[in-house]
Amino acid sequence: MSAAVEVVRAGALTTVQDEGRTGWAHLGVPRAGALDGPAMRLANRLVGNAPGAAVLETTVTGCAVRVTGDRPVLAVVGGAGCRVTVDGRPAAWGAPVRVPAGAVLEAGPALQGLRGYLAFAGGLMPEPVLGSRSTDLLSGLGPPVLREGDVLRLGTPGGAPYADAVPWPGAPEELVLPLHLGPRDDWFTDAALRTLTSAVYTVSERSNRIGLRVEGPALARARDGELPSEGMVLGAVQVPPDGRPVVFLNDHPTTGGYPVVGVVAEAALAGAAQAAPGVPVRFVRA
């Protein structure tokens, strides 16, 4: 028996994501992958998938899909808190839901957090590119941003779910990012470094999958000029000419010419995926 999902309501920005395409940065290929990795992995476990199976990642407005084919599908909506319905009837958020063939599963607008994750037993099966099914908004690799009418095939369901329901972390009311200074912290004044690790910034509405942008005090340079382009890693905190830090997320470029004042460890970045504009941000020395 086969099954697929057809996009009925695409939402503001819904993409296919898995663990991303690692190992290609030396060729200029970004990582991509789910911004909230723990939420993706938990959603997959709840439907019996491998942790890195491909899921839908929604942004703020949610999405709706119709199950097509000749069998019901086990699904879960997790990540950002939202109202969940199956053919208009309320269904559980954060727990497995059986969706009959022909029924519409809808994840409503986010009530808490920004990014939701829809996992389906068997996982989404668009054609992989360089070992990943993830959409990369920067390079254009992977499946395009979803539109109404798109159909995504599902794989064969695997093992049984490991639990019926689990506690999900809430969206951060304050985002605390542990920062390892360097490699270009010497490009900034001592006062700027003190400001970086003591001031309270806020999440900017200009943030996206490429980077978490913040509003707050600018960081003064200790030297003029620009760097030749050099490699950028996930979590790099780059400081453009306006002096306000940008934390690079999964779709970040692999090189850049602005100084990197520090790096936030990957384990701390899941909160950045769910931090809404206006949420306070603090950088603390790791």
Are residue 186 and residue 248 in the same domain, yes or no? yes
Q: Are 55 and 44 in contact (CB under 8 A)?
A: yes
Domain CATH for 222: 2.40.100.10
Q: Is residue 263 part of a domain?
A: yes
pLDDT at 111: 97
Are residue 108 and residue 243 in the same domain, yes or no? no
146-162 tens-digit pLDDT? 999 999 999 999 877 76
Where residue 224 falls among pLDDT bands split at 50, 70, 90? confident
Are residue 132 and residue 21 in the same domain, yes or no? yes
Are residue 19 and residue 135 in the same domain, yes or no? yes
Where residue 165 falls among pLDDT bands split at 50, 70, 90? confident
Measured distance CA(270)–CA(127) in Å, rounded = 26
Q: Is residue 163 part of a domain?
A: no
Are residue 133 and residue 269 in the same domain, yes or no? no
Would you mind telling me the total number of residues written for the chain in this entry?
286
pLDDT at 225: 84
Token reading at 26: 């030396």
Where residue 166 falls among pLDDT bands split at 50, 70, 90? confident
Q: Is residue 164 part of a domain?
A: no
121-137 tens-digit pLDDT? 999 999 999 999 999 99
Are residue 29 and residue 128 in the same domain, yes or no? yes
Q: For the chain, what is the domain count? A: 2
Measured distance CA(123)–CA(79) in Å, rounded = 17
Q: Is residue 188 part of a domain?
A: yes
Token reading at 205: 């509405």
Measured distance CA(281)–CA(177) in Å, rounded = 7
Are residue 188 and residue 107 in the same domain, yes or no? no
Going by C-alpha positions, the residue among 78, 39, 20 that lies closest to residue 254 is 20
Going by C-alpha positions, the residue among 202, 250, 239 that lies closest to residue 40 is 250
Tell me the residue range of the domain where 268 lies: 175-285
Token reading at 249: 């997320």
Show the CA angle centred on residue 209, arms to residues 151 and 114, nearest 5°. 80
Going by C-alpha positions, the residue among 206, 201, 209 that lies closest to residue 175 is 201
Are residue 25 and residue 80 in the same domain, yes or no? yes
Q: Is residue 253 part of a domain?
A: yes
For tokens 């942004």, name the residue.
59
Read off the pLDDT of each residue in 48-65 and give the average, rounded to a whole number: 97
Measured distance CA(163)–CA(104) in Å, rounded = 24
pLDDT at 159: 76
Are residue 91 and residue 213 in the same domain, yes or no? no
**Candidate from 49-53, 226-230, 257-261 with smallest mean pLDDT:** 226-230
pTM over 0.85: yes
**Candidate from 120-124, 150-154, 175-179, 221-225 with smallest mean pLDDT:** 221-225
Are residue 255 and residue 195 in the same domain, yes or no? yes
Are residue 213 and residue 179 in the same domain, yes or no? yes
Helix residue ranges, H only, the chain: 37-46, 190-196, 270-274
Q: Is residue 126 part of a domain?
A: yes
Are residue 198 and residue 267 in the same domain, yes or no? yes
Mean pLDDT (the chain) is 96
Q: Is residue 72 part of a domain?
A: yes
Where residue 14 falls among pLDDT bands split at 50, 70, 90? very high
